[in-house]
């Protein structure tokens, strides 16, 4: 059986269309804000985003940051999300911290906050956190280990998980996070991440989403099938 050149072309178009179904797109955006809140000193700050605990046993540091996913122009509920990665950039190490890996847990904040006025007790200037220290879903979205004393300025720490994929897929346009020590109330451990404020804005927390849009790629496949059907109607396979 011999396949004529036009049919080869049609088959090539089908293969190309099918392959396009597997092609993924990637988008990366920076956080719209990033701050940290502190237990013993009822304040916030955004020069650095600190996570950990000071020398005072109950003085916890928690990072808050938000991503406006609607700014990407992608409806993540209508695509297949392959992976989601949050990247944090270290501002500096801390020689006074425990020289050992600590685990940082990422949570989904469930209460809106205002970056310029949030504190340990207040979500906004006029509304308290339902739970002091940030109201969040207790299910861990992702976690990562890092050593506060050995990390260096410019080093990146990433978080990713299936739960993070699901959170982005089901978001309503923006998503808020809280980052804290997995185990608080221990020895001093502070990790300095660059925040969005001032000259460090270029190194603010970022989120990268890799996704596939099958609907758009189907057009190429359907076009190839249609062309093949037309050619088959006009030509016959020739026996060798």
Say whether pLDDT at 71 is over 90.
Answer: yes
Mean pLDDT over 107-135 rounds to: 96
- Separation of alpha carbons 69 and 27, rounded Å: 10
| Amino acid 25: pLDDT | 95
Q: Does an H or E element contain 181, and which?
A: strand 174-181
pLDDT digits (tens, 9 = 90+) for 30-57: 999 999 999 988 776 667 899 999 988 8
Distance from C-alpha of 100 to C-alpha of 190, rounded to nearest angstrom: 11
Give residue-wise pLDDT tens across range 166-195: 999 999 899 999 999 999 987 899 999 998
Number of CB atoms found within 10 A of residue 22's CB: 9
CA dihedral 155, 110, 26, 115 (to 10 degrees): -60
The whole-angstrom separation of Cα 145 and Cα 27 is 25
DSSP 48: E
User: With contact defined as beta carbons under 8 Å apart, do 94 and 192 qualify?
Assistant: yes
- Contact 212/23 with Cβ under 8 angstroms? yes
Predicted TM-score (pTM) of this structure: 0.81
Which CATH architecture fits 24-213?
A: Sandwich (2.60)
The Cα 75–Cα 92 span in angstroms is 36
């Amino acid at each position: 059986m011999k396949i004529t050149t036009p049919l080869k072309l049609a088959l090539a178009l089908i293969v190309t269309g099918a392959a396009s179904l597997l092609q993924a797109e990637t988008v990366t955006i920076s956080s719209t804000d990033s701050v940290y809140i502190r237990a013993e000193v009822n304040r916030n700050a955004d020069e650095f985003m600190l996570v950990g605990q000071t020398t005072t046993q109950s003085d916890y540091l928690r990072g808050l940051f938000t991503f406006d996913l609607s700014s990407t122009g992608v409806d993540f509920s209508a695509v297949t999300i392959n992976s989601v990665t949050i990247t944090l950039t270290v501002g500096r190490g801390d020689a006074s911290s425990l020289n050992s890996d600590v685990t940082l847990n990422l949570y989904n904040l469930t209460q809106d906050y205002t970056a310029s006025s949030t504190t340990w007790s207040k979500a906004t200037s006029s509304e308290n956190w339902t739970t002091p220290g940030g109201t969040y879903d207790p299910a861990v979205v992702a976690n990562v280990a890092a050593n506060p004393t050995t990390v260096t300025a410019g080093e990146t720490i990433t978080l990713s998980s299936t739960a993070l994929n699901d959170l982005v897929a089901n978001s309503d346009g923006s998503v808020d996070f809280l980052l804290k020590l997995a185990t608080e109330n221990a020895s001093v451990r502070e990790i300095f991440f660059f925040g969005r404020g001032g000259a460090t804005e270029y190194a603010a927390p970022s989120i990268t989403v890799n996704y596939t849009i099958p609907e758009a790629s189907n057009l190429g496949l359907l076009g190839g099938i249609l062309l093949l059907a037309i050619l088959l109607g006009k030509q016959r396979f020739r026996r060798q």
